Amino acid sequence: MSRTSNGKSRASGRVTLAAVAAHAGVATMTASRAISQPELVSSLLRERVEKAVEELGYVPNRAARALASSKSNVIVVLVPSLSNAVFTAVLAGIQDALDPYGYQILIGNTRYSDAEEEKLLNVYMQSNPDGILLSGLSHSKGVEKTLATSRVPVVSMMDISTDPDRVSVGFSQIQAGYQMTRYLLDKGYQRIGFMGAQLDERTIKRQEGYRMAMAEAGKLDPTLEMMVPDPSTIALGAELVERMHATMPGLDAIFCCNDDLAHGAIFQCQRRGIVVPQQLAICGFNDLPASALMHPSCTTIATPRYKVGFEAATLLQTLIRGEAPEQQHIDLGFTVMARESA
pLDDT single digits (tens) 44-102: 999 999 999 989 888 776 555 555 556 889 999 999 999 999 999 999 999 999 999 99
**DSSP 8-state symbol, 15:** B
pLDDT (0 to 100) of residue 68: 53
What is the Cα–Cα distance from 3 to 143, expressed in whole angstroms?
Answer: 41
Neighbouring CB atoms inside 10 A of 333's CB total 14
Instruction: Encode pLDDT of 155-165 as tens digits.
Output: 999 999 999 99
Which one has a higher pLDDT value, 317 or 15? 317
Instruction: Identify the pLDDT of residue 72.
Output: 87
pLDDT value at position 12?
A: 44
311-325 tens-digit pLDDT: 999 999 999 999 999
Burial class (CB in 10 A: 0-12, 13-18, 19+), 119: middle
Beta-strand (E) ranges in 115-220?
131-135, 154-157, 168-170, 192-196
Q: Across the chain, where does the E strand assignment appear?
A: 74-79, 104-109, 131-135, 154-157, 168-170, 192-196, 225-227, 253-256, 281-283, 300-302, 329-331, 335-337
Q: What is the mean pLDDT of residues 216-242?
A: 98
All structural domains of the chain, each given as residue ranges with its CATH number in brackets, are: 17-60 (1.10.260), 73-171+306-333 (3.40.50.2300), 173-302 (3.40.50.2300)
Q: Residue 3 above 60 pLDDT?
A: no
The residues facing 304 across adjacent strands are: none
Residues 6+ apart with CB under 8 A from 94: 75, 77, 105, 133, 309, 310, 312, 313
pTM: 0.82
Strands 335-337 and 192-196: unpaired
The CA-CA-CA angle for residues 219, 224, 228, to 5°, reads 140
